[in-house]
Amino acid sequence: MSGPAVPAFRAAARFPAIRLYNHVVPVLISAAVIAATACGFISVAPNRLVSGEPVALWLAADPRVTAALAVLGAALLTTAVATSNRAAHFVSAGIAVSLVFLVLAAAGQAAHAQAGSASKLARVSLGAAFWVMLGAAGLAVLDGLQRARAGILVQLAAVIVIGAGFAAMIEAGAFDALSLTHEYRTREAQFAGALTRHVELVLASVGVAVIAGFPLGVAAVRRPGWQGPVFAVLNLLQTIPSIALFGLLIVPLSAVASAFPSFAAVGIGGIGVAPALIALVLYALLPVVRSTVAGLSGVDRGVVDAARGMGMRQRQRFWQVELPLSAPVLLAGLRIVTVQAIGLAVVAALIGAGGLGSFVFQGLGQYAADLVLLGALPAIALALAADFLLQSATALLGRRVAR
Amino acid sequence: MIELEHISKRYDGRPVVDDLSLTVPDGAFCILLGPSGCGKSTTLRMINRLVPFDSGAIRIAGEDIRDVPEEALRRRIGYAIQSIGLFPHWTVEDNIATVPRLLNWPGRRIRDRVAELLELLRLDPESYRRKYPHQLSGGEQQRIGVARALAADPELLLMDEPFGAVDPITRDALQNEIARIHAATKKTIVFVTHDIEEALRLATVIAILERGRLAQWGAPIDIVEHPASAFVRDFVGGEGSGLKLLGLRKIAERMRPGESAVGVPLSADASLRDALAVMTERHTDRLPVADASGRAIGIIMLADLVR
């Protein structure tokens, strides 16, 4: 991804007659090339607890892999910059997908090569260049699909192809030499439990926040006088740092647990799932209420006036007109809340709620960056998946109520 | 018959409607006319109880509207507004069927009624039924708005500047439609506008409002010929009111029967303003006049216009 890319870019800049159709891909490729030259693609440490030495891409990976990356990168740059039609955008998205796989394969291959030549205790971690290149390739996929105006189904297909390919590579042992995989193998049993707990925490907190926040939002729309105080309280809650809120809840909840042993018996106490859920719900309330208010008050006043003037009762107006017309905004709010809860639930591990955050904090405690990643990467993947699913749902609904 | 008796309404102590009394006879096309902020929309929205009034009484066919539950009252009254307010997530058919569904009409009757109304508004039922509002032009949307207001065959139709947001050509077509519908159905219509031309063209009776009070009440021609105050005279057009007057009178009122002249004849139903326009165009002071079947029945002369 080095040689031919830079001259092609310069040539376009020197002759203004040649139009540069895409400014995003050249930036992404430049970032990838700079990262590959300046940073390590992987890092190798003699054991788990020492920080590793970065190894550059062309030293770590097979020269053929490096060459293939350079050729594909140049091909992506050429298609993206040279023309602007739908087919070309689909081709660049396709090339970008193969780049994603190639970067992943390069990491696996480099790890194998390095691990083979070192002691059994040696650990191979992913370096900065890997992450930048993977990110650049991923963004190039998005850019291509967006320029091609790909529909939801095509986007879904792209996600499935990348996900399935990634799963197949894991299955085939492509990443077995990576330290991240070692961390996973030693915690395989805990991992499934942590992932399940994380999803449960998110679903439960978002569920409760919607059940409590939606009626609150509806009430605030009907009585605008309530909006000031309601938002004042919710904004205040939002400004408390998450760690502080988890900490603040320890004192009152331990007091409750010791005063009422029956509460303690069902798991309510200063630490554990209960305070984590309460904090997550409190954080989720503001976006739920805010998007409910924004959605319902954003419904065209003329439409509401017509509905009243034709003799619809308040309940009929709400279910038949206001709710369906505000659904896209409400779903967008749900998306924000869910993604936010997935991130915050990581912190909940601090007070013993479990979830993916437990790996993150263990890793921080042990100075083991790859253990941190074992918690962080699935959390990021969950957030991206939730975001994508809810965004698709919003787009499908938005198409139905388009004006 | 709609009776408004000493209606008053204040917002924050400021009167918007001030001791207003009107009686709209059955079958009238009553236009509430006035500059913005004169209280005409507020008055209209009091009739279907969208706006509560502070004092006075409103009766429809002798019944006090406050004795009727507000939803039931509104389902009896057609309502069309400037922003149209079609439900964007419903088809044309669903939109028109709004009030019949609220009244639990059987499905068969609703379908027939939708087809009948689309035909009344000169839209082909089969090609329009399944469309969504965003697939329609502004004029078509307002036709659907009018069809929706007429759906449950209401005794009274309230229209709040319904043609205020469409282009002049579409507005002209829609005015023709509503005049035709009024003539065909004889429904009582209360219609708000600030457009004097629209009022003179459509109304059988006009109420001019000035700061929440009734400035003048009467037939269009009375208002143009005998404005009750300087405000009314300015509002109906000052010096330009002569032309408006010609627009309100038909050729039939001034023509000389039996005489004949050369040229393409004008219809006796056309206005004196049309006659003046054609004379100017043809550089002549006399025009032949024909009846509805096209038979020549007399002439109209320039001097007749100013008689």
- pLDDT digit string (tens) for A220-275? 999 888 888 989 988 888 888 888 888 788 888 788 778 877 777 766 767 778 88
| Structure ipTM over 0.85, yes or no | no
Residue A324 · residue B89 · CB < 8 Å: yes
CATH class for the region spanning A188-402: mainly alpha
Beta carbons within 8 Å of A94's beta carbon, 6+ residues apart? A144
> Beta strand pairing status for B213-218 and B205-210?
antiparallel
Best residue in B68, B86, B87 for a mutation probing chain A (most A CBs within 10 Å): B87
**Cβ contact, residue pair B87, A311, below 8 Å:** no
d(CA A201, CA A276): 8
Question: Is residue A57 packed enough to be buried (19+ CB in 10 Å), middle (13-18) or exposed (0-12)?
Answer: buried
Measured in angstroms, the CA of A298 and the nearest CA of chain B are apart by 14
* Per-residue confidence (pLDDT) for residue B225, from 0 to 100: 85
Q: Is the pLDDT of residue A3 over 60?
A: no
d(CA B67, CA B74): 13
CATH 1.10.3720.10 residue ranges of chain A are 188-402
Compute CA A15 distance to the chain's CA centroid, rounded to the nearest angstrom. Answer: 40
Using a CB–CB cutoff of 8 Å, tell me whether B87 touches chain A.
Answer: yes
Question: Is residue B23 packed enough to be buried (19+ CB in 10 Å), middle (13-18) or exposed (0-12)?
Answer: middle
Of B99, B134, B148, the CB nearest to A402: B134
What mean pLDDT is reported for chain B? Answer: 91
pLDDT digits (tens, 9 = 90+) for A33-79: 999 999 999 988 887 777 788 889 888 888 999 999 999 999 999 88
Question: Is residue B130 packed enough to be buried (19+ CB in 10 Å), middle (13-18) or exposed (0-12)?
Answer: exposed
pLDDT digits (tens, 9 = 90+) for B131-166: 999 999 989 999 999 999 999 999 899 999 999 888
Chains A, B: CB contacts within 8 A come to 71
Provide mean pLDDT across the span B175-187. 92
Nearest to A93 by CA among A27, A133, A149, A47: A149
Best residue in A300, A310, A315 for a mutation probing chain B (most B CBs within 10 Å): A310
Strands (E), A89-240: 123-126
**Cβ contact, residue pair B133, A316, below 8 Å:** no
Which residue type occupies B196?
A: I
Q: Which residue of B has its CA nearest to A327?
A: B89
**Cβ contact, residue pair A303, B75, below 8 Å:** no
Gyration radius of chain A over CA positions = 25
Q: Is the pLDDT of residue A211 over 60?
A: yes
DSSP letters of B166-224? S-HHHHHHHHHHHHHHHHHH--EEEEEES-HHHHHHH-SEEEEEETTEEEEEE-HHHHH
Residue A21 · residue A83 · CB < 8 Å: yes
Measured in angstroms, the CA of B107 and the nearest CA of chain A are apart by 18
Beta carbons within 8 Å of B84's beta carbon, 6+ residues apart? A302, A306, B141, B142, B144, B145, B162, B165
* pLDDT band for position A292 (cuts 50, 70, 90): very high
**Cβ contact, residue pair B83, A301, below 8 Å:** yes
**Cβ contact, residue pair B88, A308, below 8 Å:** no
**Cβ contact, residue pair A400, B89, below 8 Å:** yes
Nearest to A304 by CA among B145, B84, B91, B193: B84
Helix (H, G, I), strand (E, B) or coil at B78: strand
**Cβ contact, residue pair B73, A311, below 8 Å:** yes
> Beta strand pairing status for B2-11 and B55-60?
antiparallel
Strand order in the sheet with B77-81: B77-81, B156-160, B188-193, B29-33, B205-210, B213-218
In angstroms, the Cα distances linking A387 to A149, A399, B96 are: 19, 18, 38
**Cβ contact, residue pair B133, A303, below 8 Å:** no
* pLDDT band for position A118 (cuts 50, 70, 90): low
* pLDDT band for position A86 (cuts 50, 70, 90): confident
In angstroms, the Cα distances linking A363 to A49, A122, A188, A324 are: 11, 17, 15, 46
Q: Which residue of A has its CA nearest to B83?
A: A302
